[in-house]
Structure 1
Amino acid sequence: MNHAVLAAVAFFIFALVPQAYGEDIDIANLFKEKNLDGTLVISSLDGKQVYTHNDQRARSRFVPASTFKLPNTLIALEEAAITDEKVIVIWDGTDKGRPACNSDLSLENAFSTSCVWFYEEMAKRVGKDKYTSYMEKLHYGNGKIGPEITNFWLEGDLRISAMGQIDFLKNVYTRTYPFRSSSYDLLRKLMVVEETPTYVLRAKTGWAQSIVPQVGWYVGYVEAGGQVWFFAANMEIGKPEDSALRQEITMKALHLKGII
């Protein structure tokens, strides 16, 4: 085998191996200060600038929990399980564990309060066959739905990594997936967490409480200074008050990197 062929083979093998990113000390210190086991990935749209803490964990898959409301919202809209953000879905009267969820809800309310029962109802309306098809189209994590259609993103076999979340968010931002513009527009509107004169933050939290150890998520993107930056954080949640650290650490990291 000549040198040219060997070089080509070596390049091909290298291309198949996921690129490992160096440890970002600034972000690592944020986790260290709180004694947290977790990861955070911040990436530019073109992927030429990536800041990472705990690259190994960033490539490990975890239950997406309520971050799955991002694809779930697009799917529900696309399949007309719900037609817009104002349509009301009737509460069944049973206690859902949080006062904010013990009422009739619109998509707008359910997304902002992260009420599970609303999306369980959407899942029933969409159906397993449609979800299976969308998982193939979206290449979302391991794509496993399992037998229980109403909670596979919380207690089922579905898993996704922080790197996978970044890929998904970029495809949503660039509208790569086969969804209508109106569906993308509405999700973009629902995701707004903070809007300032210098940046707009769009994001979603997630908290997988049925697994041990519990895992908390914060994923989204920031538009600032004519650029867009994507982020995905996950971490072990040892006690309820740790849940606020998802946003706190992410926002501090975005400040440290001069993004916001």
Structure 2
Amino acid sequence: MKPKYLISFLLLCGVMFLSSSDYGNITLFPDSSSTKFVIRNDLQKYFRNCNVDGTIVILDINKSQWIVSDSIGSQMETLPASTFKIPNLLIALETGAIKDENEIVKWSGEADTATYGYRPEIYHDMSVKEAFDVSAVWVFIDLAKRIGRDNYSQYLKQCKYGNLNLSHEEDDFWNFGALGISPVNQILFLKGLYECKLPFSVKNMEVVKNIMITEQQDGYIIRSKTGWTNENGFKIGWWVGYLEKKEAVYFFATRLLQDAKIVDPYFGNCRKEITKEAFRALGIIE
């Protein structure tokens, strides 16, 4: 099956591809004798099973091995959607926009259901930690107003996060507008967080890493964030994070694309299902 959504998305968006110059000293796939790059086209079957196009990129840090389902999608930039809550929370902590992750943000009583849908379960005062867990966009819009665009520009540039385009006038520039990030760049950012090499205090990075824990099994722990938005008539779904298994660490970024006109109740679940099927195919989990 041809990747029809991916091709259409490329044509509509005039997608820009990343190069080593976009990252300064960081390249897409570090070029060294110890780094391996493997294309696993067979992983595309899991996207087809979900009636979506998409890409999964995995970095096995112990083997210095990049595994990608397709090379084009791995470098294509799209809106980060709620995966941006990871850098957002880091910046909020670092700038003092919040005192800590337990700070309570007051619910304004107003909801933009036309833009974000109707989610009554998040319409109440809540801590920033809870807002991260349940992906309450209204809380992070409030934080964005406190942080200010200059602080975002400064820290995202230092993090080499995406295309750095913050031209969207509204506060939720991670869900709408021109900010874009590729699956590979998502992993490079997450690797910096894991290694505590981002421009934030170790304390704040450890706080965020703990908040990111979404699954704990006997054999592994997953720290992650999902994301979902619409852009140019397409649904964009993300699941990014890393899996820790004994001494091994696997970074992952899975992105789905689907025509927004398609009513698909499984789109959200497919983000994690596809990723875990890929993990099983690679022998990462059982």
Name the SS of the counterpart of 2:249 in structure 1: strand
**Is the 1:60–1:162 Cα contact (8 Å) retained in structure 2?**
yes
Match of 2:82 in 1: 66
1:84: how far off? Answer: 1.6
Find out whether 1:75 has 2:91 as its counterpart: yes
2:47 aligned residue (31, 42, 56): 31
**Is the 1:22–1:55 Cα contact (8 Å) retained in structure 2?**
no
Match of 1:206 in 2: 227
The CA deviation string for residues 186-237 of structure 1, in whole angstroms up to 9 with x for no partner, is 1111100111121000110000125421110000000003111000010113
Tell me the TM-score normalized by structure 1.
Answer: 0.88
Per the alignment, do residues 16 and 177 of structure 1 end up closer, same or farther by CA in structure 2, a change over 3 Å counting? closer
1:17: how far off? Answer: 8.2
Q: Distance in 2 between matches of 1:17 and 1:124?
A: 33
Match of 1:9 in 2: none
1:122 aligned residue (138, 143, 147): 143
Match of 2:275 in 1: 250
Give the count of matched residue pairs. Answer: 246
Per the alignment, do residues 122 and 222 of structure 1 end up closer, same or farther by CA in structure 2, a change over 3 Å counting? same
Match of 1:174 in 2: 195
Range with greater deviation from structure 2 (155-164 or 32-41): 32-41
1:42 aligned residue (52, 58, 76): 58
**Is the 2:168–2:178 Cα contact (8 Å) retained in structure 1?**
no
Q: Distance in 1 between matches of 2:58 and 2:244?
A: 13
Tell me the TM-score normalized by structure 2.
Answer: 0.81
Specify the code of the residue in structure 2 equivalent to 1:88. I
Name the SS of the counterpart of 2:43 in structure 1: helix
Q: Distance in 1 between matches of 2:265 and 2:62?
A: 36
**Is the 2:226–2:237 Cα contact (8 Å) retained in structure 1?**
yes
**Is the 1:123–1:149 Cα contact (8 Å) retained in structure 2?**
no
Q: Distance in 1 between matches of 2:218 and 2:257?
A: 33
Name the SS of the counterpart of 1:130 in structure 2: helix
Specify the code of the residue in structure 1 equivalent to 2:282. K
Per the alignment, do residues 127 and 16 of structure 1 end up closer, same or farther by CA in structure 2, a change over 3 Å counting? closer
Match of 1:197 in 2: 218
Specify the code of the residue in structure 2 equivalent to 1:38. G
The CA deviation string for residues 84-103 of structure 1, in whole angstroms up to 9 with x for no partner, is 22211100001352012200
User: How high is the sequence identity, in percent, across the aligned residues?
Assistant: 37
Q: Distance in 1 between matches of 2:165 and 2:171?
A: 13
**Bigger radius of gyration:** 1
Q: Distance in 2 between matches of 1:147 and 1:32?
A: 33
Name the SS of the counterpart of 1:209 in structure 2: strand
Name the SS of the counterpart of 2:184 in structure 1: helix
Name the SS of the counterpart of 2:266 in structure 1: helix
Q: Distance in 2 between matches of 1:178 and 1:90?
A: 29
1:26: how far off? Answer: 3.9
Range with greater deviation from structure 2 (144-153 or 99-108): 144-153
Q: Distance in 2 between matches of 1:149 and 1:126?
A: 14
**Is the 1:21–1:55 Cα contact (8 Å) retained in structure 2?**
no
